[in-house]
A and B are shown apart, each in its own frame.
Chain A
Amino acid sequence: MTTLLALFVSFFRIGLFGFGGGYAILSLIQYEVEAHAWMTPQEFTDIVAISQMTPGPIGINAATYVGYTAAGLPGSCVATFAIILPSLIIMLVISRLYIRLSERFADNPYYRNTMTVLRFTVLGLIAAAALLLITPANFIDAYSWLLFAAVFLLTLLPALTKNKSDVVSFLTHPITLIVLAGCAGYLIYG
C-alpha cells in the first residue's frame, strides 16, 4: 500500500512538472526511480529502449513499466493514472479557457495576434522535432535515407498530383506508411 502511495505521489509529480513531453519526462522518471530504488539503472536503460520500441507515448510506456516492476498490476494502473492526472486537470482548464476565449474574444487583437503567432511558432517546433530526430541512431545507412525519401514523397503525393481517390489516400495514410516501412525494415535488416 505504501508502495502504491509512493508511486502515485512520484508519478503525479512527474506529470505536473514534466514540461516538454517525451524525453524530458524520462529524465524525471529516472530521478524518481533511483530515489525510491524501484529498479536498477540497467533496468531503467531497458525501459528507455522498450518505450521507444513500442507504440504509444513514451511517458505512458515508462510509467506503466515502472509501476508494474514496482508493484505489479495495481502499481502499473496507479502510475499510469497518476502521470495523466495533472495533464487532465491542467489541460481541461486550458481547453475550457481556449473555447471560451475563442468565442468571446474573436475580435480582440491580443487574442488574435497570440493565436496567429503561436500558429507559426508551432511550425518551427515541428520542424525542430524532425531535425532533432535526424540522428546517426535513427539513420544508420543509405536504406534509411531511401525510406525517408520514399515516405516523404508518398505523403506529399496527393497534394502534388491533385489525386484524391480512395486508393491514393489509403496508400498515403500515416498508418499504412508506418506498416510498410516496418515491413521494409524487416526485409532489409531482418
Chain B
Amino acid sequence: MTKISVDRISKTLDGLHTLADISLTVGENEIVVVLGPSGCGKSTLLNIISGLLIPDSGTIKIDGEDWTGKTTRVSYMQQKDLLLDSRSILDNVTIPLLLKGMPKNEAHDYAQSYITDFGLEGFEHYYPRQLSGGMRQRAALLRTYLFASDILLLDEPFAALDAITRRKMHLWLLKLYKRFQTSILFVTHDIEEALLLADRIYILSQRPATVRCELLIDKKAGVTAAMKMDLLAILEEESDDNHL
C-alpha cells in the first residue's frame, strides 16, 4: 500500500525554479531515500510534503487522502534537532502529544514507554544543552515519531554528527525501524548512508530538481562496489558545473 504519493510537484521559490515535476512514492514499512546534490531542493520537497509550502502544481497524497498544502499530518526532522532549551527531554518529546490535546500526565506516561527504545533512559529530565549531539538527535526523532508514528520524514538528520556517532545512529535507526515498522522518507546527499539504509533510492537531478532515476536495493544481496561507483558517477554528473 502506498503511504505517501508525491504527484508531479513543481515549485518556484524566490524566482528560482527549484522543483520540476517530481513524482515519487513511499510504501508501507519501507525506507525510501532521496539522494541528490546539495542545494537541489530536497528540503523544499519535505516542506511541501509536510504542508508548510504550497506547490505551484501537483498534489501530495497521504494514505490516499489529499494533504497538499495542509499541515498537521506529518512533521519532519532536520539536521538541527530544534529541541527547546527551556524544556527537559521528556517535556520536549511530549510537545506533539500536548498539542494534540493529550493531558500532561498521560503524555508523559506514553512518551516514557518509548524512552528506552530511543536510547534516552536516565536522561528524561536533563535539559537538551546537557546532552551530546547523538542523544539530542534521538530525542528529536522521538518527538517526530510521537507526532506521526506511521511516517517519518528525515532531512539529513545525522549530517551534523561525527562519523562514528553517525554510523551508530544508522544501525540504531535500522533496528528501530524493524521494531516499530514505519514508513521512512530519508533525504541525504551521502551515498554510503543511502545505500546502507534504503529499500529504494530516488536520485534527483540538480536544480530544477526532478527524479533522475530510481534504484531498488536488495538488502539481502548487499551493496556492491560497482553500485557505489555508478551512483557516484550520476551524482557527480549532476553536481559538476553550478555548485563548485
Q: Do A and B come from one complex?
A: no
